[in-house]
Amino acid sequence: SPSRPRAIRGPAISFSGSPFLAPAEACFVHHPDALILIEGGRIAAFGPYDPARVPAGVVPVHYEAALIAPGFVDAHVHYPQVGMIGAYGEQLLAWLDRYTFPAELAFADPAHAQAAAALFFREILAAGTTSAAVYCTVHPHSVEAFFAESERFNTRMVAGKVLMDRHAPEALRDDAERGYAESLALIRRWHGRGRQHYAVTPRFAPSCTEAQLDAAGALLREHHNLFLQTHLAENPAEVAWVRDLFPARSSYLDVYAHAGLVGRRSVFGHAIHVEEADFCTCHAAGAALAHCPTSNLFLGSGLFRLFDALDPRRPVRVGLGTDVGAGTSLSPLRTLGEAYKVAALRGTALDALKGFYLATLGGAEALHLEDRIGRLAPGHDADLCVLDLAATPLLAHRTARCESIEEVLFVLMTLGDERAVRATWVAGECVYDAARTPDPFRY
């Protein structure tokens, strides 16, 4: 049962703040031999291993040659796109028409949605991701299938029905009123039920009329703590199209701001082709950006200005997004490896502490869920992943030569992927154990 006390022992890391804003000593902890006590699905204690602190009758699960980290947070991903990841040859707008919309049309069948949701959860948990901000399709039952699967694993998830009422195939369009009503029914059913949260999800400005964006704004005003997720300034042709569609707005972000969509718990995917004023707007509003490096490279969208977004004078909340299926992997480790390369192309360097922060507490902060997830700390949900430093012969060989925790983390960022995830815990239960046979998943 979730209230049974548990204990985990092994090397562990966590953040208490942003290494973009504070020196590592002030925001990063590494215990070479840690004890994590869990009660009622939450972390009750986290500190150096001390046998006297293990409750009577509890035998710690001991992970050796491992590194325990907070579960990863994927700040931007499309579960319906798991079936079309790796679609050849196009940039954003043609890629949507040629591959994405056809894939999402298949979700008219609830059984298809259910199967995709089941596969998606297995894949993200095997990659060490325990929370995500997720786009479903326009079909309400795609949200139903998603949250039902999330509830089985008891994951904390943010998701919503895509709103789109133009520039898409007829069978994928709603309208402002219907999108509002369908979202409202899903909010009433799922928002705040267990660990599930609802995100109002207008796809992006080109696929939403002004009436639909206004309806999304009304939903946000009428309900407490809803999320808002959409795409922003991903591709130059898209940005030019938005300028044509909304000539009265001062920027792409202003289209959303005008409809009341820029606030706390708003998460904008990509945000590559933006101006300083847009970063300022997001900072002031507490809105977040999702950095999606594998997607931005795959679609040739551009290079996110991570260090400009995180400028300490007006830091914007930034999470790491896989953005599958434009993204090419559900693994946050692999995504961090690409984030490093994107930073390098911009003449900057993303060190491992900053990288692991983005994939954990940074993502939690992007979603304003930092009081619940993203950290190993008393009171936080016991969501964690256990990384295997010897997952492959190369990783074992390389990590054996590391001289610091920073170096181990950087090697994991560079060489790591889902093979480096030994186990994933959600709300105090081990839901994935790579060594468990015949099925590594709990459900």
Binding stretches for ligand GUN (CB under 6 A): 78, 92, 96, 100, 203-204, 231, 234, 295, 323, 326
Check residue 269 for interaction with Zn ion (CB under 5 A). Answer: yes
Q: Toward ligand GUN, which CB reaches closer, 231 or 354?
A: 231
Work out how close the CB of 84 gets to ligand GUN at its nearest, in angstroms, rounded to a whole number. 10
For tokens 């997607």, the residue is 295
Q: Which of 104, 144, 149, 323 is the binder for Zn ion (CB under 5 A)? A: 323
Q: Residue 441 burial by CB count (10 A; 0-12/13-18/19+): exposed, middle or buried? A: middle
Residue nearest to ligand GUN (CB): 326
Name which of 77 and 316 has its Cβ closer to Zn ion: 77
Question: Least distance to ligand GUN from the beta carbon of 96, Å?
Answer: 6
Cα atoms in the Cβ-side hemisphere of radius 13 Å centred on 366: 31
Among Zn ion, ligand GUN, none, what binds residue 204 when CB lies within 5 to 8 Å by partner kind?
ligand GUN
Report the helix count and the strand count for the chain, using DSSP H and E.
17, 17
Q: Return the residue matching tokens 């995709």.
A: 116
Of 323 and 338, CB closest to ligand GUN: 323
Can you tell me the distance from the alpha carbon of 437 to that of 310, in angstroms, rounded to the nearest whole number? 43
Please give the Cα distance from 120 to 105 (Å, whole number): 18
Of 234 and 278, nearer to ligand GUN (C-beta) is 234
Cα 433 to Cα 396: distance, rounded to the nearest angstrom: 19
Q: Which is nearer to ligand GUN, 179 or 416 (CB)?
A: 179
Q: State yes or no: residue 325 binds Zn ion (CB under 5 A).
A: no
Q: In terms of Cα–Cα distance, which of 264, 237, 308 is closest to 90?
A: 237
Partner whose footprint covers residue 100, from Zn ion, ligand GUN, none (CB < 5 to 8 Å by kind) = ligand GUN
Interacting span for Zn ion (CB under 5 A) from 22-30, 194-202, 263-271, 375-383: 263-271
Closer residue to ligand GUN, CB minimum distance, 46 or 304: 304
Does residue 169 have a cis bond before it (omega within 30 degrees)? no
Please provide residue 201's backbone torsions phi and psi, each rounded to the nearest 5 degrees. -130, 65
Closest to 258 in 3D by CA, of 199, 212, 200, 213: 213
Minimum CB separation of residue 325 from ligand GUN in Å reads: 8
Q: Which residues of this protein are in contact with Zn ion, per CB under 5 A?
A: 269, 323
